[in-house]
Copies of this chain bind each other. A is one copy, B any other.
């Protein structure tokens, strides 16, 4: 870790900066694949599966037989852990249900919002060495609570043509309607445009590598909504002298093991804490299977010493971290100062992995500074708020004249006339 002592504000940009992600080089390749999927549907999806995942799926849809087999293959211990996590994610996201009020803005003018689920959503779950069944829970559980009619999921098969059983079990528990064996750009294209087998959806959710991200960006311009832009995962820990170095080291390492591009930042008011955390990191690193990733990520990570917790929080807000862990004595007070962050973990026991898996909060969060403008995935991500209004005769009397005057001033006489014919009608 680079240690930075009492940086002046002109140094902050260097601390909060992220590596530039240039997806433009991928654009052409990604466009070409998307265009093939659009034109040739299932056949193109299968071809790209063979090319990129080394297996041509006989059929894209996962069968009931495969689902049943998966249930047998997952250990009872893991199934129970998944059920616990699902319980908590469901409980927290159910608490986010919207209840709107009718508002009478003026006599006879009633306005209200109604939350209506997006009918068709598509979830993308990456493949690779580790099966991300926790992502299945995070994306599908709120979709089910929202009441989305079609919840489809795409995930690439392994070389043996199968999908990891934990992914299938999590999908069943969380309420996914249908699962398809497709990964990468071809999966995003299939969900954005629809194929013979894969239905077109209205919104696509989920993480992925830079190709998946570039594909989501391209289809997200005009074809389909997407959850949010993405970048490498990040954690920022704010700590004072009361914090436990062992915990902080473990938290930093849990982020660092994601990959060499992971962003790790420690901000503290306590000089000794930095060296104590570094000692702990060295020790814990020895036992970490993904040691190599973690070491490289730590090379790029920073420990920053600041004068006060207020300054620490100012730096946090300039950084806008995906995950923010606050291990200070008065963490509730510190937390009041959060403006830009995806998800915040308070106190010494709330490690990031609690929220990554099982506390109930969502782990699909804005990275790369996008927390300045985006929320993490939540129940609202699967709904639209539709506005309704009703005017009585009295309502026309309340706002009719204002509408006429404003429409005329905007030179939209048709707009004015739509109100005028009503005013005349009730005055007849």
Contact = CB atoms under 8 A, between A and B. Distances in A.
A163 interface: no
Interface string A75-116: 001101110110110011001100001010110010101101
Given A111-B360, A344-B387, A386-B375, A414 B217 contact: no
A111 B288 contact: no
Contacts of A78: 405-406, 409
A373 B81 contact: no
A389 B345 contact: yes
Contacts of A341: 386
Given A130-B410, A290-B412, A403 B105 contact: no
A284 interface: yes
A55 interface: no
Interface stretch (A4-12, A64-72, A244-252, A307-315): A244-252
A224 B109 contact: no
B391 A421 contact: no
Interface in A156-200: 166
A249 to B, nearest CB: 8
A146 to B, nearest CB: 12
A257 B258 CA distance: 55
A299 B343 CA distance: 52
A417 interface: yes
Given A221-B221, A349-B395, A105 B131 contact: no
A393 B420 CA distance: 67
Interface string A384-409: 11111111110110010111011101
Interface residues of A, number: 132
Contact of A88 (B384, B393, B399): B399
A118 interface: yes
B338 A386 contact: yes
Contact of A372 (B202, B335, B411, B417): B202
A145 interface: no
Given A92-B111, A133-B409, A389 B81 contact: no
Interface stretch (A35-43, A45-53, A269-277, A350-358): A350-358
A347 interface: yes
Given A250-B414, A412-B290, A359 B103 contact: no
Given A254-B417, A257-B415, A346 B388 contact: yes
A232 interface: no
Contacts of A116: 338-339
A81 B405 contact: yes
Given A373-B225, A385-B378, A418-B353, A92 B105 contact: yes
B375 A385 contact: yes
Given A250-B417, A288-B414, A343-B387, 16 more contacts: A78-B405, A85-B402, A88-B111, A95-B101, A109-B360, A119-B339, A129-B411, A132-B410, A221-B229, A246-B425, A250-B418, A254-B418, A256-B414, A284-B421, A331-B390, A349-B422
7 contacts: A81-B402, A81-B409, A116-B338, A134-B406, A202-B373, A359-B389, A375-B384
